[in-house]
């Protein structure tokens, strides 16, 4: 079932999660154990992240350089298929621009379509650590809206290198939204302009970056509607878990921590106390969002289920 169909048919706020692919060397059962503990809340769908391959070049001593892969592409397609087969829950693989040619993207989408996976979340993707900024594949896409256009074309039967119309795919396309703006945008108005481009290219729903102040989300939705962005906007949530999150989350995700939450976390003597504060804060966010009638609550689990489970126990 498509994400838009899940949202349209829901009679109450849905529970959904995002997971990370297993690290190199871990088997799929590590991931299944994480998902197992959350299945009692009947997730409507599970999305699976995709981090691009990373590499370094090392000198060989003869003036030549050799490429070494330091982070391999995860098997997102296979993981999504395994989850759907085991749990009979729809999955949403992330499809990114970075590191992919247009042909790579088409091949991935053909595999997804063959496996009956008909939802995708489209992102540009982050730059690799060895690059000062995002560098697209020479034969790939620079921006998410371009990638969305390719998928929309496949939904119309338009494939690369084929002049005639082929069997169309049937993907429901999601895009990322940034309530506190993308870090590369000069301001929120500009960010909304580009978000609208994604919707006009074919995005049918939006999933937001995590936030800790619901006013940020409500303001974002209001601005989207005022700018003609009328697709469902799914709030992304994460319980704060460590003292380090006070500085790490703003640094890596470019978001603000509300002063009330900062003060409560600052009182904690250890991470165990922080987790209790984080769970209660997130649960209160969820209660307020549910009361406002949001379509679903989407949890960034980071493949750690315990805190999300405890929040869900309070609100579902």
**Any catalytic annotation for residue 5?**
no
For residue 70, which phi and psi values (nearest 5 degrees)?
-100, -15
- Helix axis angle for 102-114 and 144-155, nearest 10°, is 50
3-state secondary structure of 66: strand
CA quadruple 203, 177, 45, 48: dihedral sign:
positive
CA quadruple 2, 16, 151, 222: dihedral sign:
positive
**How does DSSP classify residue 156?**
T
Short-list 37, 38, 31, CA closest to 75: 31
> Given 5, 18, 59, 204, which residue is catalytic?
18
Q: Are 171 and 113 in contact (CB under 8 A)?
A: yes
DSSP H or E run through 88:
none
Distances (CA, A) of 158 to 6, 100, 306: 27, 19, 44
Q: Are 209 and 235 in contact (CB under 8 A)?
A: no
User: Could you list the active site residues?
Assistant: 18
């Amino acid at each position: 079932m498509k994400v838009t169909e899940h949202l349209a048919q829901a009679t109450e706020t849905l529970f959904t999660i995002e997971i990370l692919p297993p690290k190199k060397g871990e088997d799929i059962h590590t991931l299944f154990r994480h998902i197992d503990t959350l299945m009692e809340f009947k997730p409507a769908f599970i999305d699976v992240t995709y981090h691009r391959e990373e590499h370094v070049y090392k000198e060989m001593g003869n003036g030549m350089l050799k490429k070494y892969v330091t982070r391999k592409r995860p098997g997102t397609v296979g993981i999504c298929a395994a989850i759907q087969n085991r749990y009979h829950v729809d999955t949403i693989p992330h499809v990114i621009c970075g590191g992919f040619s247009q042909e790579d993207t088409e091949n991935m989408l053909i595999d997804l379509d063959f496996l009956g996976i008909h939802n995708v979340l489209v992102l540009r993707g982050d730059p690799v650590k060895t690059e000062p900024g995002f560098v697209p594949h020479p034969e790939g896409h620079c921006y998410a809206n371009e990638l969305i256009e390719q998928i929309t074309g496949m939904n119309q039967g338009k494939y690369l290198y084929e002049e005639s119309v082929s069997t169309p795919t049937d993907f429901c396309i999601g895009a990322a939204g940034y309530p506190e703006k993308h870090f590369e945008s000069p301001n929120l108005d500009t960010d909304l302009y580009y978000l609208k481009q994604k919707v006009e290219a074919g995005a049918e729903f939006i999933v937001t970056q995590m936030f800790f102040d619901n006013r940020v989300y409500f303001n974002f939705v209001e601005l989207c509607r005022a700018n003609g962005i009328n697709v469902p906007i799914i709030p992304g949530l994460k319980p704060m878990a460590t003292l380090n999150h006070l500085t790490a989350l703003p640094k890596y995700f470019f978001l603000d921590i509300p002063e009330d939450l900062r003060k409560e976390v600052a009182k904690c003597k250890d991470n165990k106390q922080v987790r209790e504060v984080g769970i209660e804060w997130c649960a209160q966010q969820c209660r307020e969002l549910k009361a406002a009638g949001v379509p679903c609550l989407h949890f960034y689990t980071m493949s750690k289920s315990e805190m999300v489970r405890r929040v869900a126990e309070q609100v579902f």
